[in-house]
Structure 1
Amino acid sequence: MELRHLRYFVAVAEELSFTRAAERLHIGQPPLSHQIQMLEAEVGAQLLERSKRWVRLTEAGKLFLDDARRVLSLSEQAVQTARRAERGEAGELRVGFTFSTPLTPLFATVINRYRRRYPGVTLTLHERSTLAQINALAGRELDLGLVRPPESALPEAVTTTELRRDPLVMVLPEEHPLAARKTLRIRDLEGQPLVMYPKTAGTGIHPQIFRLCRAAGFEPTIAMEAGEASTMAGLVAAGFGIAVLPSSFDIIRLSGVLYRPLADKDATTALLLAQRKDEISPLVAAFRAIALEAASA
């Protein structure tokens, strides 16, 4: 059964005239009559009573008309949904983010702006480490990821775009001797107990701190490990050591904790937007455009 047969039937049923229905459909009356006969044969029921002067719906035709209208309505809805998806206005978009990304103001800006512009899209957010996001992108479990520079090389299928660059800051107890200085350097960490992300966290901050310390001529001393930036700040407040975090995390305000910038030119980290190289989804393109727009503001 073809949709055009349903459209022909609905036109005849609404006009109750083959002549008027043929004019409405811009086809000849004999072909229209033939198509209705074919539809009735396929359905196995007479849908219309005909005479030279009138056309009437049979009981079967009345019931068939209701269903035919629903089918045509659903088919039009399906067409509109597909067109909206092609424009990036419908569907599901799966976006990953690291545990600390929501502390970056850019995150809220991008997510709120996207949801306002594309209310018909189901946006699902997944909290995962950088490494887990990259693996999920390669495995097509995520569509986009908000990540920090990874420790290892990216898979061939994944690419990243830098959204913003944050200087690293030292997080200190306010009574610490280094707190009296307005600017610090990596070498000031020598011999100091550090509170750090664990190596298994999949974040690039851990290996970066090791590289910076070694470049300054010493090995860092790890006192404690914690998986969350807020936990690290709390451990600093409790006197367990010093932490190094992106400057955007200074919104974590705890009594007894101070943030001091690091003057070393390589003491920076980036927030990256990761995606598959072969991605053609309009949903991804729309989110990427908003992220770049917000990042450049």
Structure 2
Amino acid sequence: MNLELRHYRYFAALAEELHFGRAAERLGISQPALSQQFRWIEQEAGAPLLSRSKRRLALTEVGAVFHEEALGVLRQVRHAELATASASRGDVGSASIGYVASAALSGLLPRLVYRFRQDYPAVRLAMREMDMPAQLDAVARGALDIGFIRPPLQALPEGLALFDIAAEPVVVALHATHALASRARIDVAMLRDETFICTHTEHGTGFYAITLAICGNAGFQPRVEALSSQMATIISMVAAGFGVALIPASMRAFAPPDVVFKPLARNEVTSQLAVVHRKNERSPTVLRLIERCRQGKGKDRQPG
């Protein structure tokens, strides 16, 4: 049958009202126009759809079948409209999130993801733990949608944007038997003879850059060893006696019994948690997730 969507709407209204005048009023068209359209529908159906007896209308058997099919078409169209509108708002779809381990332990990332999933249960979220260089590459290639990273970084790949969502104090991780372990706060200058454990030794990037900045402000160049790319493993290396480590305060959640965490005296350098994403992002779902991250900025900062 060569029918348009409006024809299904016309017949559904007529089959429910069984009165041309009421159906026309409901549809917002004139009764003659509806009568003309109905004749076209019957012609296309190839059989009578309504019967007339004693000035009353009734569905024929063919009309009853066509009515059910018309309702099915209208339901399917409505479902498509709602699904499209939902997708355009970002209420459905998928997004992939990369993160450094310290972002997960900070508490901010889990809370953001939890709240987003509560508000948008139809969105599928995929989480992947990755170091910062791998995240930057994956977001640039489209393999990830957003990444949670720890600046600073030397350069941001072309086409990417970055914004901070939290800043937290830096603390020093010491072995529990360390001579400074009983102090309430540690003067960084007192650590000049220590070995500092870092995740890498790439200049201008991540916690290596933060370690150099904090120690430089205290007047010395630290001796640094990169023993693991994972912050939690760095803390384990402190427990094993390989040295001390400057870490974000949130990592105190990972607390082996042989390690203590101490605030730093006279230090203004903080650890930033940032979100990286594509500048030209067009996915409504990802854009909604990015906006949610912006809205959550600074709400979960760690105490000193």
What is the match of residue 220 of structure 1? Answer: 223
What is the match of residue 14 of structure 1? Answer: 16
RMSD over aligned Cα atoms: 3.2
Supply the distance in 2 between the matched residues of 1:86 and 1:6 (Cα, whole angstroms): 26
Is the contact between residue 18 and residue 29 of structure 1 (CA under 8 Å) also seen in structure 2?
yes
Question: Residues 40 and 139 of structure 1: is their aligned pair in 2 closer, same or farther, counting only changes over 3 Å?
Answer: farther
Report the TM-score when normalising by structure 2. Answer: 0.80
Supply the distance in 1 between the matched residues of 2:38 and 2:163 (Cα, whole angstroms): 58
Mapping of 1:159-238 within 5 angstroms? Answer: 159-198=161-200, 204-210=206-212, 212-213=214-215, 216-222=219-225, 225-238=227-240
AA matched with 2:221: F
List gaps (5 residues or longer) in structure 2.
none
Percent identical residues: 33
Question: Are 1:292 and 2:297 counterparts?
Answer: yes
Supply the distance in 2 between the matched residues of 1:151 and 1:184 (Cα, whole angstroms): 27
**Mean Cα deviation higher: 103-112 or 180-189:** 180-189
Is the contact between residue 214 and residue 267 of structure 2 (CA under 8 Å) also seen in structure 1?
no
The offset of 1:142, in angstroms, is 3.5
Supply the distance in 2 between the matched residues of 1:104 and 1:232 (Cα, whole angstroms): 16
The offset of 1:173, in angstroms, is 0.7
AA matched with 1:284: L
Question: Residues 70 and 136 of structure 1: is their aligned pair in 2 closer, same or farther, counting only changes over 3 Å?
Answer: farther
Mapping of 1:1-297 within 5 angstroms? Answer: 1-42=3-44, 45-46=46-47, 48-51=49-52, 53-198=55-200, 204-210=206-212, 212-213=214-215, 216-222=219-225, 225-263=227-265, 265=267, 267-279=269-281, 281=284, 283-284=288-289, 286-292=291-297, 294-295=299-300
Cα deviation digits, residues 75-134 of structure 1 (max 9, x gap): 223333344445444433433322221211322332333333334433333322223333
Is the contact between residue 168 and residue 301 of structure 2 (CA under 8 Å) also seen in structure 1?
no
Question: Residues 11 and 273 of structure 1: is their aligned pair in 2 closer, same or farther, counting only changes over 3 Å?
Answer: same
**Mean Cα deviation higher: 121-130 or 20-29:** 121-130
Supply the distance in 2 between the matched residues of 1:293 and 1:16 (Cα, whole angstroms): 61
Is the contact between residue 167 and residue 298 of structure 2 (CA under 8 Å) also seen in structure 1?
no
Is the contact between residue 93 and residue 123 of structure 1 (CA under 8 Å) also seen in structure 2?
yes
Supply the distance in 1 between the matched residues of 2:160 and 2:251 (Cα, whole angstroms): 27
Supply the distance in 2 between the matched residues of 1:130 and 1:104 (Cα, whole angstroms): 16
Cα deviation digits, residues 246-291 of structure 1 (max 9, x gap): 1111122211211122336354210112333344635235413541
Supply the distance in 2 between the matched residues of 1:33 and 1:144 (Cα, whole angstroms): 57
AA matched with 1:173: H
Supply the distance in 2 between the matched residues of 1:124 and 1:2 (Cα, whole angstroms): 41
Number of equivalences: 294
Question: What is the SS of the residue equivalent to 1:171?
Answer: strand
The offset of 1:171, in angstroms, is 0.9
Is the contact between residue 49 and residue 55 of structure 1 (CA under 8 Å) also seen in structure 2?
yes
Report the TM-score when normalising by structure 1. Answer: 0.82
List gaps (5 residues or longer) in structure 1.
none
Question: Residues 141 and 40 of structure 1: is their aligned pair in 2 closer, same or farther, counting only changes over 3 Å?
Answer: farther
The offset of 1:150, in angstroms, is 4.4
Supply the distance in 1 between the matched residues of 2:48 and 2:241 (Cα, whole angstroms): 85
**Mean Cα deviation higher: 270-279 or 191-200:** 191-200
Is the contact between residue 197 and residue 226 of structure 1 (CA under 8 Å) also seen in structure 2?
yes
AA matched with 1:17: H
